């Protein structure tokens, strides 16, 4: 995956440094050549001997050593990417202010390659205004700062500040220098938006779906290299150059999706498909007569269920469940009854989440029983999380 790539792994003094060993192993296994550079304090957290053995290269630490000092410009030029993981609060502050009192900082200041950093610190330090200011400064300087995870921290407290897992950092490295995209060659069909069920030529019933989530998914799957086809309800269109077929009714969406389904590797039913349509839609405008009007509805075809029944081997089916109550139980039930691989639960009980918002809060229910809750995020970030989940599910299937 990273054959021939040159990676400089910077390690600073943080308890998370033990995970750098795993990251180093992943990098070496993926074919990269890795050189490790440490701050002097990092030696207390992880053994240079282990890092030298695993990387097959001498670990660079000491600014006083003449041979190593001469190398700092060359190291920054040698690398295709400089990955600082973990990035401690101290090194963050030094990088933000341009200090250069160790070799890692000297290499940072002379690096000509992309630099990414995975911070690790206690939650209070992570939330401190100084840390936020320093992170913003580094981002302005073009450094890619990875988000932190929530969980158990070195202090024994639980909160935000855990360094990302080595697999997450790997993904980012691959995205930046891998030269290929993780979903290249995969065909992904995404439905988006509402459907319109016609009463007569001038009226219809529908729902509040705007298609924002489906379009965000289309964009992120496209970014990940997939060949994306969107089947969208009325009024929903992507500003990007993504193949889109617009349909009106649930019946039309069913026909379009089913006719394209067998070619797809992944199908995501993000559309809010009407569950009922009119049994006898009029072809002339219904005139106002009696004080009440009764129109008979009939069930539409459940597209996701039909896809679940005809699912081809290796194909991934992802559905959404929009719930106002009993979210978890309903999502689990839908996962089973529709033979889906994943159901993304959207609860209208969560504020700033659902139709029309630019943010969303989801929980993913996977076929293997795993439940993955996510924070409230922008729909683009949510879509990126779903891309990552999809990649994990594809890898699990293979």
- Do 243 and 263 touch, CB atoms closer than 8 A? no
335 contacts ligand CTP (rule: CB under 6 A): no
Selected range binding ligand CTP among 8-16, 81-89, 227-235, 302-310, rule: CB under 6 A: 302-310
Contacting residue, 173, 303, 335, 380, with ligand CTP by CB under 6 A = 303
304 contacts ligand CTP (rule: CB under 6 A): yes
46 contacts ligand CTP (rule: CB under 6 A): no
Selected range binding ligand CTP among 48-56, 181-189, 231-239, 270-278, rule: CB under 6 A: 270-278
Contacting residue, 163, 273, 316, 389, with ligand CTP by CB under 6 A = 273
Whether 57 sits among the annotated catalytic residues: the reply is no
275 contacts ligand CTP (rule: CB under 6 A): yes
- Do 389 and 316 touch, CB atoms closer than 8 A? no
375 contacts ligand CTP (rule: CB under 6 A): no
The CA–CA distances, whole Å, from 284 to 51, 199, 306 equal 77, 10, 32
334 contacts ligand CTP (rule: CB under 6 A): yes
Selected range binding ligand CTP among 2-10, 154-162, 176-184, 271-279, rule: CB under 6 A: 271-279
Identify which of residues 247 and 304 has a Cβ nearer to ligand CTP in the complex: 304
Selected range binding ligand CTP among 130-138, 218-226, 231-239, 301-309, rule: CB under 6 A: 301-309
119 contacts ligand CTP (rule: CB under 6 A): no
Tokens of 129: 């205004």
- Do 280 and 204 touch, CB atoms closer than 8 A? no
Identify which of residues 191 and 359 has a Cβ nearer to ligand CTP in the complex: 191
DSSP of 273-307, one letter per residue?
Answer: --SEEESS--SSPPPP-SS-----EEEPP-HHHHH
Q: Give dist(CA 24, CA 204) in Å, integer.
A: 58
3-class DSSP assignment, residue 184: coil
Tell me the closest approach of the beta carbon of residue 283 to ligand CTP, in angstroms. 24
Selected range binding ligand CTP among 155-163, 182-190, 281-289, 299-307, rule: CB under 6 A: 299-307
Contacts 24+ apart (CB under 8 A), 157-160: 157/122, 157/123, 159/122, 159/123, 159/126, 160/123, 160/126, 160/127
Binding mask 3-22 for ligand CTP (x = CB under 6 A): --------------------
Tokens of 202: 């001038």
51-72 b/e (C-beta count within 10 Å ≥ 16 → b): beebbeeebbbebeeeebeebb
300 contacts ligand CTP (rule: CB under 6 A): yes
3-class DSSP assignment, residue 358: coil
Q: Give dist(CA 362, CA 81) in Å, integer.
A: 33
Tell me the closest approach of the beta carbon of residue 257 to ligand CTP, in angstroms. 8
Cis peptide before 302 (omega within 30 of 0): no
Identify which of residues 91 and 300 has a Cβ nearer to ligand CTP in the complex: 300
96 contacts ligand CTP (rule: CB under 6 A): no
Contacting residue, 121, 143, 199, 271, with ligand CTP by CB under 6 A = 271
Selected range binding ligand CTP among 86-94, 300-308, 377-385, 386-394, rule: CB under 6 A: 300-308
Contacting residue, 173, 267, 269, 380, with ligand CTP by CB under 6 A = 269
Contacting residue, 76, 161, 194, 319, with ligand CTP by CB under 6 A = 319
Identify which of residues 292 and 298 has a Cβ nearer to ligand CTP in the complex: 298
Q: Give dist(CA 164, CA 307) in Å, integer.
A: 35
User: Which residue out of 57, 71, 102, 207 is catalytically annotated?
Assistant: 207
Pairing verdict, β 297-299 and 149-152:
unpaired
CB atoms within 10 A of CB 396: 12
Which residues are part of the catalytic machinery?
207
**Residue ranges that bind ligand CTP, judged by CB under 6 A:** 250, 269, 271, 273, 275, 300, 302-304, 319-322, 334
């Amino acid at each position: 995956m990273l054959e021939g790539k040159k990676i400089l792994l910077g390690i600073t003094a943080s308890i998370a440094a033990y995970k750098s060993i795993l990251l180093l192993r992943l990098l070496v296994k993926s074919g990269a050549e890795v050189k490790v550079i440490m701050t002097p304090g990092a030696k207390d957290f992880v053994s240079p001997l282990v890092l030298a053995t695993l990387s097959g290269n001498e670990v660079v630490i000491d600014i006083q050593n003449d041979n190593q000092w001469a190398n700092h410009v060359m190291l920054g030029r040698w690398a295709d990417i400089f990955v600082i993981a973990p990035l401690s609060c101290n090194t963050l502050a030094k990088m933000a202010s341009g200090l250069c009192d160790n070799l890692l900082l000297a290499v940072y200041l002379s690096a000509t390659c992309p630099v990414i950093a995975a911070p690790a610190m206690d939650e209070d330090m992570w939330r401190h205004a100084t840390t936020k200011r320093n992170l913003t400064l580094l981002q302005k300087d073009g450094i890619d700062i990875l988000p932190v995870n929530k969980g158990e921290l070195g202090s024994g407290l639980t909160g935000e500040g855990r360094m990302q897992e080595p697999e997450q950092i790997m993904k980012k490295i691959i995205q930046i220098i891998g030269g290929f995209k993780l979903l290249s060659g995969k065909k992904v069909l995404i439905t988006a938006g509402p459907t319109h069920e016609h009463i007569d030529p001038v009226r219809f019933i529908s729902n509040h779906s705007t298609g924002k989530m489906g379009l965000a998914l289309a964009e992120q799957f496209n970014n990940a290299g997939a060949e994306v086809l969107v089947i969208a309800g009325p009024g929903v269109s992507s500003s990007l150059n993504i193949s889109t077929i617009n349909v009106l009714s649930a019946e039309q969406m069913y026909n379009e999706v089913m006719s394209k389904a067998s070619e797809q590797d992944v199908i995501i039913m993000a559309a809010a498909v009407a569950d009922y349509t009119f049994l006898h839609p009029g072809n002339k405008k219904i005139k106002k007569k009696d004080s009440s009007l009764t129109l008979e509805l009939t069930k539409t075809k459940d597209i996701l269920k039909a896809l679940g029944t005809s699912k081809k081997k290796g194909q991934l089916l992802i559905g959404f469940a929009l719930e106002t109550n009993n979210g978890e139980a309903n999502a689990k039930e839908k996962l089973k009854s529709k033979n889906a691989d994943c159901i993304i639960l959207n609860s209208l009980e969560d504020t700033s989440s659902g139709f029309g918002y630019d943010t969303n809060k989801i929980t993913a229910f996977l076929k293997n029983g795993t439940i993955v809750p996510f924070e409230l995020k922008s729909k683009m970030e949510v879509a990126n999380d779903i891309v990552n989940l999809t990649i994990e599910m594809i890898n699990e299937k293979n």
